[in-house]
Structure 1
Amino acid sequence: MARQIMKSIALPQLGAWLALAFFLVALLLANLGVPEYSHLLHPLALRGATGVPGALWFNLGAFVLPGGLLLLQAHLLRKAVQEASWRVRLGLTLMQLSALAFAMQGLLPLDQRGVDAAASRLHVLMWMLWWIAFVPGALLLALGLLRQRRGLAVVSAAVGVLVPLLAVWAPIGAWVGLAQRLAFVLWFGGWLLVSRCLIGTSASAPKSLPPAGR
């Protein structure tokens, strides 16, 4: 019984850590075959554009595997919030949609012919869905956890605000690459924090989350 409880606690957290690890490894190996690629100057998705050497493997490591792991994690987390308020449950659902959109960025890579190409438009659409779904998800989780986890609620709200600031408005000129990567790392950090809180709360006190209907 104890082993089953430990397994249910560890799996979601492990998924978040593995997702971040795959993402960071992909970043570290991004220059292989493309030495002129710069994390400071170039958008992350440019490394996985069609026709770039090793684009398939980069997209798998940077987008598909991390997004897939977080989708699985969100599915496991849903069991921990079954008795939680609608804000927590809806917030987690939106974060799950954000993870799906993140993975789809790797399955729908950019086209080197430009952003007007059909493939590039689909990629940009997934990128927009990634942060548009995450922002209200993080804010709803912050509202739902405000009474029981005030510290987490504040951090969750801050992450929900900072991700679009870094991903959308900050990438200007020489900061485009760095700002975007900070937004992605912050997004993974939000997943780690929410995962630890929801699973830890569920394991220690199943009724400590805000009850449904409030």
Structure 2
Amino acid sequence: MTARVRRRWWRGCVPAAAALWVGALLGFGAALPGYVQSVHPVALLGAQGIAGAMAFNLFGFVLPGALCAVVAVSLRLRLPLHTGWRQRIGAQLMFLSTLGFVAMGVFRLDPVRLEGTQTLLHATAWGLWWSTALASALLLAGGLRRDPAWRGLVRGGPPLAGLAVLFALVLPAVLPDGLSQRVAILAWLGWCGLAAVSGPDRPLTATLRG
């Protein structure tokens, strides 16, 4: 049992990422006067000029995104070496989505200069995050649909990624930004979690051996 758990160590990455993200939101949000979780955007806690912004970006974006990137790499390594193009590209796009999440913490929002370079880079990272997630989920579901080991990701991946995009792009028109963004990120984390727990029970080095 211990060896089996050790072999699936990447499964703990998404719970750790979610705990870091939620903890950063609650902790830094409570420390910022007037900040309302359901109303204000997540990135405001890491914006330029906000006390503790760099620390929030580390614990709220960079580290959670890096942990999910580990899951994306593990997904690719658990696929056969000569797997189909949809699976390969889907895994690569998932990795890009996690990098987009990391980049949102690297390129901080500048509330004073909404047309400034930093804000535009942050917005680009946001777009990279959701667009590659949706494309990845659809490609992986299509490529893995006949493999029962990936049934969870095939069935749950597209709805969760679609939910993330819906709350990230459409529903902010009728819901507060804070609420819609949080649901979008939680749905994305759920998708990453499915990627971690789905798939065959095989060592990550098995792909390298063919």
Q: TM-score interval w.r.t. the shorter chain?
A: 0.7 to 0.9
1:105-144 CA deviation, whole Å, 9 max, x = no partner?
1011111213211110111010110011111001111112
1:135-186 CA deviation, whole Å, 9 max, x = no partner?
1001111112222344542211112221111101111355221111000000
Q: Distance in 2 between matches of 1:113 and 1:194?
A: 38
Aligned to 1:186: 187
Unpaired runs of 5+ in structure 1? none
3-state DSSP of counterpart to 2:29:
coil
Q: Distance in 1 between matches of 2:55 and 2:123?
A: 20
Q: Against the structure 1 CA distance between its residues 90 and 202, is the aligned structure 2 distance closer, same or farther, given a 3 Å change threshold? A: farther
Aligned to 1:67: 65
Q: Percent identity?
A: 35
Q: Against the structure 1 CA distance between its residues 66 and 151, is the aligned structure 2 distance closer, same or farther, given a 3 Å change threshold? A: closer
CA RMSD of aligned residues (A): 2.2
Q: Distance in 2 between matches of 1:45 and 1:174?
A: 17
**TM-score if structure 1 supplies the norm length?**
0.86
Q: Distance in 2 between matches of 1:87 and 1:7?
A: 29
Unpaired runs of 5+ in structure 2? none
Aligned to 2:142: 143
3-state DSSP of counterpart to 1:31:
helix
Aligned to 2:158: 157
Aligned to 2:101: 102
Aligned to 2:80: 82
3-state DSSP of counterpart to 1:39:
coil
- The aligned length equals 202
**TM-score if structure 2 supplies the norm length?**
0.88
Show structure 1 runs of 4+ deviating over 3 A: 2-6, 149-152
Q: Distance in 1 between matches of 2:174 and 2:162?
A: 22
